[in-house]
Amino acid sequence: MKKMLYSMVVFSLVFFVMSCGKEVKTEKAVVKIPTSICGQCANTIKTAVMKLDGIKSVDVNTETKLAMIEFIPASVKVTEIEDAIVMSGYGANEKAANKEAFDKLPDCCRKEEL
Ligand SMILES: [Cu+2]
């Protein structure tokens, strides 16, 4: 019983600290990904962006050619997100895809020539 009470106290304390901890503010950014085509493109972009610190979620839509990214502005900047996409072989907003990365993409993902 004593042990249970102890663990309950610890639990509520942890919960208290967590809920009182500085609230992490997130922001949402929409990045244009004009050269994305298929589901594999979406996966490649998602994987590349998720590797960055401070990324909460990535939602890639190859039909609207937009990526919706929720991120922590204190940890990561939109330009870094764009660069990660560029380095994975896709254009991001006004930035062109990295040529080397683009050449390594599967054939189905390279319909648009740079
Ligand atoms: Cu593709």
Q: Are 37 and 111 in contact (CB under 8 A)?
A: yes
What is the tens place of the pLDDT at every residue in 40-86?
999 999 999 999 999 999 999 999 999 999 999 999 999 999 999 99
Distance 40 CA to ligand 1 centre (A): 4
Which residues are CB-contacts of 50 (< 8 A; sequence separation ≥ 6)? 58
pTM > 0.85: yes or no: no
On average, the pLDDT of the chain sits at 89
- Distance from the alpha carbon of residue 20 to the mean position of ligand 1, in angstroms: 43
The correct answer on CATH 2.50.20.10 for the domain covering 27-109 is no
Q: Say if CB 86 and CB 97 are below 8 A apart.
A: yes
Q: Which amino acid is at 101?
A: A
Q: What's the 76 CA to ligand 1 centre distance in angstroms?
A: 26
Phi first, then psi: what are they for 46, rounded to 5°? Answer: -60, -50
| Distance between Cα 107 and ligand 1 center (Å) | 8
Q: What SS3 class is residue 60? A: strand
Phi, psi of 32 (to 5 degrees): -75, 130
